[in-house]
């Protein structure tokens, strides 16, 4: 492993100002050397170039003598000024000597002494506080170690490089537009050029800022990242008397903050993530510990969506907390977060599953299933994703997560996966024992999930899982290809004589969702089949052509229309997910490599928690 990966607070080489909280010793050392060289030059200029010394005394020293002369014009003041210059020179000489001694000291230090210095510095920061809010006693001092691959390098192939740069431009435009017209609001209305807030976040502000942080970082948009960080430090406030969606706040805000922390090492993100996690804990106060969908952050009172099967909680919502909560425990030293999500597993394990399937609705009071609807799309999707990723993120130690995932997958294959007469594989929905031959755009993430899980599949099913993944990717591509705008509908059907086409007006919209591009990205990483980049590029061109408006990117109401009618929302997940997955599709594999990172369901990368503790810093060699 390169030494750089072992260094706590190791800065990305090209990083400008979004560095971790304090300068690292290596950086200090380099600065000292530069400073020493600079001073030496100045001394040379002063002592060996007599003609320029006068000039220097007026310019380099920002001459107090010049100013004094102007004010008084007396000789005695001039002599005072000369005396001052000598003092300044003496001080500089002293500083110079001290810098050299310090540099020498650093060179002579052993690796363990350097590590100790780093620890002392970190403890000092924790003791003396950081940013707004100052010291936080409730968080343990931890060593930060940036996991490998936080930023990538330019693709070697010029065409890919160009495409990747184009995607970065899209991010710039989406971000700048949000900044210009909606800064601080949750989302942007790109047509009417104003802020937009859905009720998912109550009165928490800045969803786009928090959701975009890691995309800004990995695209090396560091000035923008710094501006976003400053906004978080000064304005991100969870002390609101408002009801929020626990799921949405978790995947976008907690997930976004955690990733920003792991990428940048900035303490403010850890602190905010844990603070928000704690605010979400009252959601678990139900007889079973299955959390409410909605929570008032001030009162701690929770409830469920009124439309959800007799007051049920939703599988994809309570089942999509695991990754973030495991990291909250790791970063806070508080086991309560992990306990809450492990309890969800326990409740589910006790229940009978119809044909091995997990219904979308579960009553948090009785602990019984609500309506027997099953879906790998909306209401169910990321529950399955998190079983697999819980196992991967635990460095493959969470055997229970693995078992639950592959068992669920078996049931899905048996009961939900079908092939159309035209040869398209799709994942149907299940309603009380009857199949609905419809697949949502949301369900298209499953191609990526199957590919990601193929490697660990039991009974030599790896090849089969990869085939399935490729078939889902193809079907989802067809759902795009069969529209006028070459963007996918919200849901498409395989009945009534159609295949991969939306037949209902209320299923024809496209809201900048990422799932299809997400699957292309996984398929590219695992197969390197150029068609996935080709498909991603097609989607990118359609986005540019039909979704780009003067004030940002907008969803469209009907992908079968000849001209787009814009819905006037730039969803925060467009910046968090769609553009990030597109960018990674055209990046090298060592950028956020799967051996080190797992993406939460909002595409926020979280590092694998190493069983052998190698994610903890070790002494330098």
Catalytic center residues: 490
SS (H, E, C) 494-523: CCCCCCCECCCHHHCCECCCCHHHHHHHHH
Residue 342 Cα distances to 44, 284, 401, 457, 549, angstroms: 67, 12, 10, 23, 45
Q: How far is the CB of 601 from ligand DMJ (least distance, A)?
A: 4
Instruction: Output phi, psi for 506, to 5 deg.
Output: -80, 10
Q: Closest CB to ligand DMJ among 442 and 608?
A: 442
Q: Closest CB to ligand DMJ among 11 and 216?
A: 216
Q: How far is the CB of 338 from ligand DMJ (least distance, A)?
A: 21
Q: How far is the CB of 180 from ligand DMJ (least distance, A)?
A: 24
Q: How far is the CB of 148 from ligand DMJ (least distance, A)?
A: 25
Q: Closest CB to ligand DMJ among 567 and 602?
A: 602
Q: Is the dihedral of CA 476, 482, 485, 491 positive or negative?
A: negative
Residues 250, 320 contacting (CB under 8 angstroms)? yes
Q: How far is the CB of 322 from ligand DMJ (least distance, A)?
A: 13
Q: Closest CB to ligand DMJ among 145 and 516?
A: 516
Paired tokens of 144: 């930060």
Tokens 């190493």 correspond to what residue?
Answer: 610
Q: Closest CB to ligand DMJ among 256 and 265?
A: 256
Q: Is the dihedral of CA 373, 378, 383, 384 positive or negative?
A: positive
Query: Which ranges in 433-510 belong to alpha helices (H)?
Result: 445-454, 462-481
The three-class DSSP label of residue 397 is coil
Q: How far is the CB of 14 from ligand DMJ (least distance, A)?
A: 30
Q: Quick one: how far is CA 310 from the chain centroid?
A: 34
The three-class DSSP label of residue 188 is strand
What's the N-to-C CA distance of the chain in angstroms? 11
Query: Which ranges in 237-321 belong to alpha helices (H)?
Result: 246-248, 255-264, 267-280, 315-318
Q: Closest CB to ligand DMJ among 304 and 601?
A: 601
Paired tokens of 55: 């000039």
Q: Closest CB to ligand DMJ among 126 and 315?
A: 315
CA distance 369 to 372: 7
Tokens 């001080």 correspond to what residue?
Answer: 91
Q: How far is the CB of 577 from ligand DMJ (least distance, A)?
A: 6
Q: How far is the CB of 528 from ligand DMJ (least distance, A)?
A: 25
CA distance 608 to 604: 13
* HSE-up of residue 225 (Cα within 13 Å, Cβ side): 26
* Residue number closest to ligand DMJ, CB atom: 601
- The DSSP 8-state label assigned to residue 61 in this structure reads T
CA distance 547 to 244: 29
Surface-to-core class of residue 130, CB atoms within 10 Å of its CB (0-12 exposed, 13-18 middle, 19+ buried): middle
> Bridge-partner residues for 429, per DSSP?
436
CA distance 597 to 589: 12
Residues 592, 150 contacting (CB under 8 angstroms)? yes
Q: How far is the CB of 251 from ligand DMJ (least distance, A)?
A: 6
The number of beta carbons lying within 10 Å of the beta carbon of residue 432 is 10
Q: Closest CB to ligand DMJ among 359 and 555?
A: 555
Q: Quick one: how far is CA 528 from the chain centroid?
A: 24
Q: How far is the CB of 511 from ligand DMJ (least distance, A)?
A: 7
CA distance 366 to 380: 20
Paired tokens of 172: 């710039």
Q: How far is the CB of 34 from ligand DMJ (least distance, A)?
A: 45
Paired tokens of 481: 């290809």
> Bridge-partner residues for 556, per DSSP?
510, 566
Sequence-distant (6+) residues with CB within 8 A of 230 are: none
Residues 363, 174 contacting (CB under 8 angstroms)? no
Interface residues toward ligand DMJ, by CB under 6 A: 382, 442, 513-514, 573, 577, 601-602
Paired tokens of 98: 């001290």
């Amino acid at each position: 492993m390169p030494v750089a990966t072992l260094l706590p607070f190791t800065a990305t080489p090209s990083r400008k100002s979004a560095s971790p909280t304090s300068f690292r010793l290596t950086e200090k050392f380099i600065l000292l050397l530069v400073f020493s060289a600079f001073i030496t030059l100045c001394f040379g200029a002063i002592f060996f170039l007599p003609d320029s010394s006068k000039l220097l005394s007026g310019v380099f020293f920002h001459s107090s003598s010049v100013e004094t002369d102007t004010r008084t014009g007396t000789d005695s003041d001039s002599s005072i000024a000369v005396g001052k210059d000598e003092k300044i020179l003496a001080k500089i000489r002293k500083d110079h000597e001290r810098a050299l001694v310090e540099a020498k000291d650093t060179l002579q230090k052993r690796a363990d002494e350097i590590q100790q210095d780093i620890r002392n510095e970190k403890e000092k920061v924790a003791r003396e506080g950081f940013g707004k809010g100052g010291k936080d006693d409730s968080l343990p001092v931890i060593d930060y170690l940036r996991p490998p691959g936080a930023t990538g390098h330019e693709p070697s192939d010029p065409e890919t490089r160009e495409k990747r740069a184009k995607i970065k431009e899209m991010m710039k435009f989406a971000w700048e537009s949000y900044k210009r017209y909606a800064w601080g609001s949750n989302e942007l209305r790109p047509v009417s050029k104003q802020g937009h807030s859905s009720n998912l976040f109550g009165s928490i502000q800045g969803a786009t800022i928090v959701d975009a942080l890691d995309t800004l970082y990995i695209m090396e948009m560091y000035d923008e990242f710094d501006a976003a960080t400053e906004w978080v430090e000064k304005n991100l406030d969870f002390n609101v008397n408002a009801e929020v969606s626990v799921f949405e706040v978790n995947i976008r805000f907690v997930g976004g903050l955690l990733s920003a922390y792991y990428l940048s090492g900035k303490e403010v993100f850890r602190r905010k993530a844990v603070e928000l996690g704690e605010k979400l804990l009252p959601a678990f106060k139900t007889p079973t510990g299955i959390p409410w969908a909605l929570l008032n952050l001030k009162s701690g009172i929770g409830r469920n969506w009124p439309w959800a099967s007799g007051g049920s909680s939703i599988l994809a919502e309570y089942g999509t907390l695991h990754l973030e909560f495991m990291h909250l425990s790791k970063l806070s030293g508080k086991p309560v977060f992990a306990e809450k999500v492990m309890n969800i597993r326990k409740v589910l394990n006790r229940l009978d599953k119809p044909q091995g399937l997990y219904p979308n609705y579960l009553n948090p009071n009785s602990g019984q299933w609500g309506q027997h609807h099953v879906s790998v799309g909306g209401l169910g999707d990321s529950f399955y994703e998190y079983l697999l990723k819980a196992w991967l993120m635990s460095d493959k130690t969470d055997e229970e997560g693995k078992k639950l995932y592959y068992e669920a997958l078996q049931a899905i294959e048996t009961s939900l996966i079908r092939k159309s007469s035209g040869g398209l594989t799709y994942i149907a929905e299940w309603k009380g024992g009857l199949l609905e031959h419809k697949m949502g755009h949301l369900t298209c993430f499953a191609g990526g999930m199957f590919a990601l899980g193929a490697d660990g599949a039991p009974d030599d099913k790896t090849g089969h899982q990869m085939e399935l993944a490729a078939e889902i990717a193809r079907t989802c591509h067809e759902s795009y290809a069969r529209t006028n705008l070459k963007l996918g509908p919200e849901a498409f059907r395989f009945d009534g004589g159609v295949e991969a086409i939306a037949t209902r007006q209320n299923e024809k919209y496209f809201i900048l969702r990422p799932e299809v591009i997400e699957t292309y990205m996984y398929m590219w990483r695992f197969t390197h089949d150029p068609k996935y980049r080709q498909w991603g590029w097609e989607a990118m061109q359609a986005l540019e052509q039909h979704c780009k408006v003067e004030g940002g990117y907008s969803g469209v109401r009907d992908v079968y229309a000849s001209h787009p009618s814009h819905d006037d929302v730039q969803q925060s997940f467009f910046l968090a997910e769609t553009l990030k997955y597109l960018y990674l599709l055209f990046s090298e594999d060592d950028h956020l490599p799967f051996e080190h990172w797992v993406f939460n369901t909002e595409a926020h990368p979280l590092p694998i928690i190493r069983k052998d503790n190698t994610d903890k810093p070790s002494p330098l060699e």
